[in-house]
Amino acid sequence: MKTGNVRERAVVLFSGGLDSTTVLAMATAANLEVTALSFRYGQRHTLELQKAEEAAKSYDVKEHIIIDLDPEPFRGSSLTGNIPLPKHRENILRTIPSTYVPARNTVFLSIALGIAEARNANHIFIGVNSLDYSGYPDCRPEYIDAFQKVANLATKEAVEGTPPIIHAPLLYMTKAEIIKEGIELGVDYGKTLSCYQPNSRGESCGVCDACILRLKGFKANGLSDPAPYSSNEQ
């Protein structure tokens, strides 16, 4: 119902995965006027983005913006190879998915900050989680605090007294708690995709880190995951 009341605006970082879909549901449930923001930066995300576009339509979202971000410059491809990389870096390259963008959350949050300024939005939501996650440095509470301080200084709006607030509502929640919250808000998790390597039919593998965390979360709630899986391992 349109009441003529001014709704506050929010930019929600939205990948279409379990976490960010829950955050999207939380932001719309809070009656915020939401700009969902996704990024196209690699092959895996073609499918993820299709799912995200479909999912965004299920919520009261004002607009869904997809930003193209060429991932090539973020790769080490132009390294000449004549300088040995430190060992920990090789480990990073082995463990992160091929679509990983270094400093990813900083890039995403900074673009969200710009769009928030353009939209006159006072809220930015990000679905980072410091518990059931792979230990990325840019998912920790102190990182979010540091970015808030940048947001407090970075824009004209901030300087004039209305910096956007960075919300990370899942920061201290377990995957089980996130799923419980989402189900209470009516999230259809069958439409969310978390898997690092889904097959061409969009079925999750059931065995990657993201699948394992997710399946554990449903199990802790006494539920089975409604998303389609290609294996029988869940």
Taking the least distance from each CB to its own copies, the nearer of 117 and 177 is 117
Taking the least distance from each CB to its own copies, the nearer of 98 and 221 is 98
Under the criterion CB under 8 A, does residue 126 sit at the interface with its own copies?
Answer: no
Taking each helix axis from N to C end, the angle separating 209-220 and 175-184, rounded to the nearest 10 degrees, works out to 60
Taking the least distance from each CB to its own copies, the nearer of 54 and 93 is 93
Under the criterion CB under 8 A, does residue 65 sit at the interface with its own copies?
Answer: yes
SS3 134: coil
d(CA 21, CA 191): 9
Taking the least distance from each CB to its own copies, the nearer of 73 and 222 is 73
Under the criterion CB under 8 A, does residue 174 sit at the interface with its own copies?
Answer: no
Contacting range for its own copies; rule: CB under 8 A; set: 50-58, 115-123, 184-192, 201-209 = 115-123
Under the criterion CB under 8 A, does residue 28 sit at the interface with its own copies?
Answer: no
* Cross-strand bridge partners of residue 67: 39
Under the criterion CB under 8 A, does residue 134 sit at the interface with its own copies?
Answer: no
Give the strands of the sheet with 33-40, arranged side by side: 61-68, 33-40, 9-13, 123-125, 165-167
CB of 99: closest distance to its own copies in angstroms? Answer: 13
Sign, Cα dihedral of 212, 209, 107, 203 = negative
Q: Does residue 81 come out as left (phi exceeding 0), alpha (psi in the -120 to 50 range) or beta?
A: left
CB count in 10 Å sphere of residue 154: 17
- Positions that interact with its own copies (CB under 8 A): 6, 35, 62-63, 65, 67-68, 70, 73-76, 78-79, 83, 85-86, 88-89, 92, 101-107, 109-111, 113-120, 136-138, 140, 142-143, 146-147, 149-150, 152-160
